[in-house]
Chains A and B, each alone.
Chain A
């Protein structure tokens, strides 16, 4: 498959990237593992690609003073291998390690993944479960938004055309906290038919899903009913039995009914794994 014609420029720094992106019909290019396939299918035909993959200021993981900060250009492979994240948010490493295959993980980035907002991507639910904030820079300066408000529709986000995600931030998990990501893979694409991210922080429990619906979502009722509970198998099963969604995705590989069923099974598996990981 062959993309239509486009121009290509490489940004040297964030400021330059923002200037370039303020032009007509431009698109940021990070790892290219979602954007290039769209170009090849001619589902996207931007006039200009602004390659931001060289911007070192948007790379890397730092954990300091209870805060974890992950640059938008951090690759899946770096997330999966990050020692700092093992303690601060194992769920993020674990989810990243389950993205695609080694080539995809070597090129694909956190920022690209959440900007693209494929409903079957692995990282969005993780950010919801971690209660992360997404930091965004644009022509008028920077702003940040809760992950919970960031994902607004099917492959749609709060991001404007000329904005760039700079990083993602969340409170790191402490001793006695734990998290886990469990994924039911699509047999063809390897994307999530259902991905469940569970975070237990003190007595608070948060559970979020990818793949199940058009937009990743936080299962607040499940989390609320488990927060403060003993997290016994019975408590988990009972909380999940009430899991509902108005409009689960339905396709060739999984009907809405089956997806919701998988959410209960995988939600349970993620919660149990997190529970059992607590110190």
Chain B
């Protein structure tokens, strides 16, 4: 059996599950000391004075710095945003606040001490005199006249006002509609919660003028570039950024945070290696949060129930500062997905980005696409109800037909491929849909104490970020290609250097599978290196379900070049023309003359012995490819949730969850399934339990895991997963990406199930999380349903 497509075990795991993985906090450097950051307890306040004298003389303290100290030269001292929308307001984000703090957790000073206990003890001694100011944390309130201002330069707290689609055409569609439905909804704010908290270890080599930063990063080259351009200002070849083992990210470790720049400044100013690692409470206050939208959506239908128009207005929180990719999330990663799997002839979306006195918001697993999917899949259920149709039938009626691909949506994407019916059919079959509907009718009739609900979510995502020309034209300040270098050693073993930067996904295994399959070598002969700017050529990193589709394709193209070079060597050895050489089953031979063969190992060895080469053949066997995808990839699927609600308490229990995803070709089914499971847990978590909540003063009420409800294994059913396979037509591997599918699809599936269960109470919509009390109130306050 081919190694591509085999569920081989992850080679990463033995070290990780036996505690031998080396994460940032496991690293020790000679003379290393520790930093603790003093953070604002206020959401909005003027810093009147900072007295560091007591902290500076506390035991073990090496240095104390404030925002005033951490500026040097022209560049430096701020973290930038990298996705510039038209008319985007981009206030500075200083790495330590200078005069104003803008969210609870904003850094104001840093203490460096011999050990982390002393650093934290002394941090308590830094006296900051604050003059507290009014704060605004709610995205809708922030845009209202008279709201407290987050930045003087952003009038009315507006960061941007963006739209996409054809407004007039959409209005015209609504004027012809036979039916319309509308919904006001919130997409709740989430805190990422990677198991490994963020951290950085910085070491300054004064003699060479070189800085090394080990950081919990999903994209070390991007971190290095931003340190050069904005936060540190050293030339790029004098900074080395290393992402050692990284324990999860979900987007939260894409961004360049102040903290790693602070650690670097401390190292440069003390001459000692400085480690900073967030406490769990600190991560909750400072890791970029996700989602936080307030939207109004309307859908226009013709008399037969076909969708003829969709209009959406969304207010999206940016938080106190624009994080690295924040402006792209509620715009190009959101508005572009609002056509879903449906043939919608007119769409218009407007997004207002708002500053709030909260932790910044940026990409979090799915980034924009879960928000789009939640909105469209919710309003699809409202449309189905309006038309009196089963939600599956209503969706099917509006699916883009299988022969309509490539399909250009009204919101700037061209779907390259798709076939949505079979995945829905399969998912319905997996849950036993008709039997469930019968059971539901039966229970309703008997007045059962448990209400049954069934929810569908047929979703699409744009993954494999991203075709460089497209994202460049949309405001990204860089293309989103990926690089790979394949180095074949003289004895035939191989090292792959990938610009992707895995942090739990299993790249070391799947990337080796790609190479082993192409070159017909044993998978154990292939090693994968990633996450170090000195070892790896420039790369864009891991996020947006891009690593297989873009990083993997880069590897495949580098392998093509290796094979092409191998053919030249074989041609030389076989005294034939390179054009006549074919590579098959791990050997080079002359086309049509199988006897004239050179084994892989012989060719590779000759590449390095190379003592009788013709002039035009270079020694060595090592090739690099920079792969730029032609388009996004478009994974899709159908997810179905089945819930039971306790009539007495409103408690929702997820009874069953089935999904049929189409992620294109599959490199390692076990890893794909793991990705789906993890994604589902996060999406279901948002639907039922998770929410970051601020009070009116800007205090995070859900700042610990005692209040922020993460899903745990016992809260979830055993998932039933399946796949259809529609290969991606435009990349060499036919893969589409799977990292975000579960998170994108499941919030809508679960919410639709809960609303379905409550439909007899006249409930049409509930915002996430669907807490017991919220559901109980819905049953007891609205309508006159049974029970």
Contact = CB atoms under 8 A, between A and B. Distances in A.
Interface residue range, chain B: 20 to 34
A4 interface: yes
Interface in B498-535: none
Contacts of A255: 773
A253 B771 contact: yes
Of the listed residues A5, A188, A261, A265, the one surrounded by the most CB atoms of chain B closer than 10 A to its CB is A188
Contacts of A4: 121
Contacts of B120: 2
A267 B121 CA distance: 46
B281 A1 contact: yes
B121 A5 contact: yes
B269 interface: no
Given A1-B280, A261-B776, A187 B702 contact: no
A65 interface: no
B121 A188 contact: no
A189 B689 CA distance: 12
A253 B773 contact: yes
Contacts of A187: 688-689, 709, 715, 771
A188 B689 contact: yes
B591 interface: no
Given A1-B279, A254-B773, A262-B649, A188 B117 contact: no
Contacts of B776: 258, 261
A160 interface: no
A181 B284 CA distance: 34
Contacts of A258: 772-773, 776-777
Of the listed residues A41, A187, A253, A262, the one surrounded by the most CB atoms of chain B closer than 10 A to its CB is A187
A258 B117 CA distance: 42
Interface in A171-188: 184, 186-188
Interface string B679-698: 00000000011000100000
Interface string A9-52: 00000000000000000000000000000000110000000000
Interface residues of A, number: 20
A269 B219 CA distance: 53
A252 interface: yes
A103 to B, nearest CB: 13
A265 to B, nearest CB: 5
Contacts of B705: 188-189
Contacts of B715: 187
Interface string B102-144: 0000000000000011001100100000000000000000000
A2 B772 CA distance: 34
B649 A188 contact: no
Interface in B646-660: 648-649, 651
Contact of A188 (B651, B706, B772, B777): B706
The B interface, classified by DSSP as helix, strand, loop or mixed, is loop
A188 B709 CA distance: 4
Contacts of A191: 706
B710 A188 contact: yes
A186 B649 CA distance: 13
Nearest to B59: A5
Contacts of A261: 649, 776
A198 B420 CA distance: 54
B767 to A, nearest CB: 15
A251 B708 CA distance: 13
B649 A2 contact: no
B701 interface: yes
Contact of B649 (A1, A184, A253): A184
B390 interface: no
Nearest to A254: B773
Interface string B534-558: 0000000000000000000000000
Given A184-B649, A253-B771, A254-B773, A2 B117 contact: yes
B744 to A, nearest CB: 23
B707 A252 contact: yes
Given A1-B281, A252-B693, A253-B771, A189 B707 contact: yes
A255 B781 CA distance: 15
Contacts of A184: 649, 651, 772
A62 B262 CA distance: 59
A104 B710 CA distance: 18
Interface in B623-662: 648-649, 651
B706 A265 contact: no
A109 to B, nearest CB: 20
B279 A2 contact: yes
A258 B709 CA distance: 19
A138 B420 CA distance: 73
Interface string A230-265: 000000000000000000000011110010011001
Nearest to B688: A187
Contacts of B648: 265
Given A188-B689, A265-B648, A2 B116 contact: yes
A255 B650 CA distance: 14
A2 B706 CA distance: 17
Sorted from nearest, which 9 A-B pairs have the closest CB atoms? A188-B709, A187-B709, A189-B706, A2-B120, A258-B773, A265-B648, A1-B279, A187-B689, A188-B707
Given A186-B709, A187-B689, A258-B773, 7 more contacts: A187-B771, A188-B689, A188-B706, A189-B706, A252-B702, A258-B772, A261-B649
24 contacts: A2-B116, A2-B120, A5-B117, A5-B121, A41-B281, A42-B124, A184-B649, A184-B651, A184-B772, A187-B709, A188-B689, A188-B702, A188-B705, A188-B710, A189-B705, A191-B706, A252-B693, A252-B701, A252-B702, A253-B707, A253-B773, A254-B772, A255-B773, A261-B649
